[in-house]
Amino acid sequence: MPALIDRFSRRIDYLRLSVTDRCDLRCTYCIPEGFKDFEEPSHWLTFDEIERLIGVFSRLGVSRIRLTGGEPLLRKNLPQLAARLTALPGVDDLSLSTNATQLARHADELKAAGVRRLNVSLDSLSRECFSSIAGKDSFERVMEGLLAGKRAGFSPIKINMVALKGRNDHEINRMVDFCREHGFILRLIEAMPMGETGRNAEYLDLQPVADRLKHEYGLVDQTLPLGAGPARYLRSGDGRLNIGFITPISQHFCATCNRVRLSVDGTLYMCLGQEERFEFRPLLRGGATDAELEAAIREAIELKPERHEFTEQPKKIVRFMSMTGG
């Protein structure tokens, strides 16, 4: 079956699947405090609907699936869904993005279900700083979950740190050392102007940070990919330290974008920084055949834009990150 190729000759083989838009934290760059405009549970795709739709995507060459949210571990019985997805022909890699507050309870079951890799959001190693960014004092639970994931044997475990000027940028070296000690891969991320929360975030250009860390830790460019995502990596000579930089503002990666995002209500977003979308829930609940779903997916991929416009139009996207899927 022909692969999914968009109008700009990019092969789409990676889907980020949001299983909930709810989260138990309120990170200052993501969901505003007091926000209650979440999707109605009756609008959430069921596990049967998710499995069917992902099955069609996988037959079209989408082999990498990442479970996201919100906080995906707030969705009941998530390991059961993971097991169903890993059993689908063509799904070669299932991973999970999490804030790790619930991970200690679920790590072993997720690993047994076929989840291979973890991305854990951790913006600070200081309890006070963590709480000020996350809006809740859950630092000990996050660390407990992170170490439970390590014991369960997930590999690699990537630490996602949104670098915020004047908030946590003084901790970058400490986070580098922490990740090297535990064998984690650190990924530093520039805040994106999504919704009022994202636009109010303390944006930090990561290019000078990369140059500084290269010098201080003797890092060189990593030529082999370390995942399906957009990070550009540096590594130490002994291979014990890998640091990725996700730079949607200072050095965008749109030319190689291979991913789309499916939100909890069945909306497929083609780009974080644009409004193009396609609604799959009406098709799934309206009796569409697999052939019709396949045609719809191909139609949707044709909508994928060439690039985002975070720099040119920073106020364009009013939806919050949790609404799109991480």
The answer to whether the beta carbons of residues 35 and 135 sit under 8 Å apart is no
Instruction: Say which range, 47-51, 177-181, 199-203, 300-304, has the weakest mean pLDDT.
Output: 199-203
- Higher pLDDT pick, 33 / 143: 143
Q: What is the pLDDT of residue 1?
A: 67
Domain boundary assignment for the chain? 14-324
| 310 pLDDT higher than 80 | no
Q: Phi and psi of 210, rounded to 5°? A: -60, -45
Q: What is the pLDDT of residue 202?
A: 82
Mean pLDDT on 131-138? 96
Q: What is the pLDDT of residue 272?
A: 80
Specify the pTM: 0.91
Q: What is the pLDDT of residue 249?
A: 83
Instruction: Say which range, 7-16, 17-26, 246-255, has the weakest mean pLDDT.
Output: 246-255
Could you tell me what percent of the chain has a pLDDT over 70? Answer: 91
Q: What is the pLDDT of residue 326?
A: 61
Fold type of domain 14-324: TIM Barrel (3.20.20)
